[in-house]
Chain A
Amino acid sequence: MADIETQGRGTAWRRGFKAAIGMPSLVLFASMVGFGSLAREASIDLLPTIVTTIGIWGLPGQMVMVEMVAFGAPLFAIAVAVSAANARFLPMTLAITPYLADWRTTWVQRLLFAQLVTLTPWAMALQRWPAMPQTDRVPYYVGFSVMCMVGAITGTILGHELARVLPRPLTLGLIFLSPAFFSMVFAGVRQRAGVLALLAGAAMGPSMHMISPDWGVPVTGLVAGSAAFSLDAYLRRRIAQGGNP
């Protein structure tokens, strides 16, 4: 029984790894090229840049960290801003844990697994986990994540190096990749609460930055995010009561 389980785990890991070859790891690769260039621009060395990619493992927080380092923001302000930028990891983790209910494991393993929650593998899990046997889910996810990480680290290193050797217009282009990518992600958001939060944040961000370069980012998130959430909650109630939204 134990042997069969181990064997099954090995194949699920490999299948996950293979599934990430191609588009998923390529997306990670390309977005981290932009991040690597951005970090180089902020004169952050290669090693801390790679550790940031693996450790934060979520582009929004990574970008916010690097840009705030470039502005010389205080440590506490950076931590709050990065945390706010990645706050989505909480509901994202919550959304996949029901599929891990039968996962017989230690808390240490569960907490280690949590580090791997990031957009690309998470979206894969929501799509494929329901049809997968419990014993395959985690190894498949880990294999998938490892391949994504290979792509991400390669991209980080390449972006960091390219920003050093490429002519200026191309380096600027690589830095422009991340905001351009997220703008497209934003354009694809359909949920009302998300759209409201994006509009409010985009409207507030630049002016808040001019008031306080250190605290503009987290304050924008809290104020604009809360306003969008409240407006959405109000509209939900109106609709629930049968009123016109």
Chain B
Amino acid sequence: MNASEVTSIWFVVAASVAATYFWRGLGMIIARRLHPDSALSRWFACVAYAVLAGFIARMLTLPEGSLGEVALWDKLVPLACGFAVFYLWGRKMEAGTATAFVVFVSIALWRGHGGT
């Protein structure tokens, strides 16, 4: 990282922290005026879900970003194994995540050893 990148990362961190805190602070301030199950609250929850789902879908499907070098099926197959364990094992998130991780690393190692 050069000097300007170091400065700018702190700007990014500060802006992101403030942008996140905004919701918490606002929630504390308007606490008595808005019900957690009101339409506005439900809308915010929907937006947050959609952002995260869109972001994760992009990370898992598009050949760019931090997992961009991994082939599509090398991400989807571990995920499918994770889902299978999740549903078969009483909806345990930890079990599903761990399975997906192990299958992912196994495939990645196998690809690495196979050579391209």
Contact = CB atoms under 8 A, between A and B. Distances in A.
Interface string B36-47: 100101111111
Interface of B (DSSP majority class): helix
A187 interface: yes
B82 A184 contact: yes
A172 B85 CA distance: 21
**Interface-central residue, B16, B43, B46, B47, by most chain A CB under 10 Å:** B46
B31 interface: yes
Interface of A is mostly: helix
A71 B27 CA distance: 31
B24 A169 contact: no
Interface stretch (A10-18, A75-83, A130-138, A143-151): A75-83
Interface string B15-38: 111111111111110111011100
Nearest to B9: A48
B52 interface: yes
A97 B54 CA distance: 30
Interface in A184-232: 184-189, 193-194, 196-206, 208-210, 216-218, 220-226, 228-229, 232
Interface residues of A, number: 103
Name, among A64, A70, A79, the residue most crowded by chain B CB atoms within 10 Å (CB to CB): A79
B82 A193 contact: no
Interface string A77-92: 0111111111111111
Interface stretch (A1-9, A35-43, A153-161): A35-43
A166 to B, nearest CB: 10
Contacts of B21: 114-115
B20 A89 contact: yes
Nearest to A42: B66
A167 interface: yes
Contact of A186 (B22, B23, B53): B53
Q: Kindly name the residue among A38, A100, A197, A217 whose own CB sees the greatest number of chain B CB atoms within 10 A.
A: A197
A224 to B, nearest CB: 4
Contact of B112 (A38, A168, A181, A225): A168
B79 A180 contact: yes
Contact of A45 (B9, B12, B56, B101): B9
- The 6 closest A-B CB pairs, nearest first, are A205-B54, A93-B27, A221-B51, A201-B50, A201-B53, A225-B47
Given A180-B101, A205-B54, 8 more contacts: A61-B16, A65-B12, A91-B41, A183-B100, A188-B86, A189-B49, A201-B50, A222-B47
Interface of B: 1, 6, 8-13, 15-28, 30-32, 34-36, 39, 41-62, 65-67, 69-70, 75, 78-79, 82-83, 86-87, 91, 93-94, 96-97, 100-101, 104-105, 108-109, 111-112
21 contacts: A43-B1, A51-B17, A52-B16, A52-B17, A55-B17, A57-B20, A79-B16, A83-B23, A87-B23, A111-B25, A173-B104, A179-B59, A180-B104, A182-B52, A183-B60, A184-B93, A197-B45, A200-B53, A201-B50, A202-B57, A228-B46
